[in-house]
Copies of this chain bind each other. A is one copy, B any other.
Amino acid sequence: MARLDFWFDFASTYSYPAAMRVAGVAAARGVGVGWRPFLLGPLFKAFGWDDSPFNLHPLKGRYMWRDLERLCARAGLPFVRPAPFPQHSVLAARVALIALDQPWGADFCRAVFHAEFGEGRQIADRAVLAALLHDHATDPQEVLAQAEAPGHKERLRAETAEAQRLGLFGAPSFVTPDGELFWGHDRLEQAVDWAADRASASG
């Protein structure tokens, strides 16, 4: 079956529409999606940046918010500008790695993005994540405790290292099994087409 990996950071603005749309766009072409949460922070640090490039470059940042607002309106997605930006996404990402071992993993990821960019809620807040987990897990506090255990923290570090090994420099990014990298929400359709076409050529 055709596949593609969807690399995202919960703090990343364009990862929001990508997360809401990727499953539908991929399913329409028979492509399976691997959800790969990671942290942009260490990548940015390696580039010498201590903040989101949208904060470091205010003109580009101002444009991004307007662009995202228009883009969400076209896609029929609710949009609230989160404050502060970027949100601290490390706990949400750790929880997501646990969630993605379960059938409800992608639903949880979409719920986090919706809470953050559709409702303006604080995704760094344990109570917010617990409430979102409540729809799926019988014991949200247990999942949160598990997410913060040392052994599990290492998992997110390893995923972020893998993102760096793949040459990622932003999010969302899409990577196909033959190693093609596509960066940005506006490359979603092209990445899915690539994965579908390559799989049918070799199948």
Contact = CB atoms under 8 A, between A and B. Distances in A.
A167 B47 contact: no
B186 A62 contact: no
A119 interface: no
Interface in A152-203: 167, 169-170, 181-184, 186-187, 190
Contact of A57 (B47, B57, B67, B181): B47
Given A47-B57, A57-B47, A190-B74, A66 B181 contact: yes
B190 A70 contact: yes
Nearest to A168: B59
A85 interface: no
Interface in A27-49: 47
Given A47-B57, A57-B169, A63 B183 contact: yes
Contacts of A59: 47, 167, 169
A63 B167 contact: yes
A134 interface: no
A190 B184 CA distance: 16
Contacts of A126: none
Interface string A50-71: 0000000101101100110010
Contacts of A182: 67
Given A57-B47, A74-B190, A190-B74, A67 B183 contact: yes
Interface of A: 47, 57, 59-60, 62-63, 66-67, 70, 74, 167, 169-170, 181-184, 186-187, 190
21 contacts: A47-B57, A47-B59, A57-B169, A59-B167, A59-B169, A60-B169, A60-B170, A62-B167, A63-B167, A63-B169, A63-B181, A63-B183, A66-B181, A67-B182, A67-B183, A67-B187, A70-B190, A74-B190, A184-B186, A186-B186, A186-B187
Given A67-B187, A74-B190, 5 more contacts: A47-B57, A47-B59, A57-B169, A62-B167, A67-B183
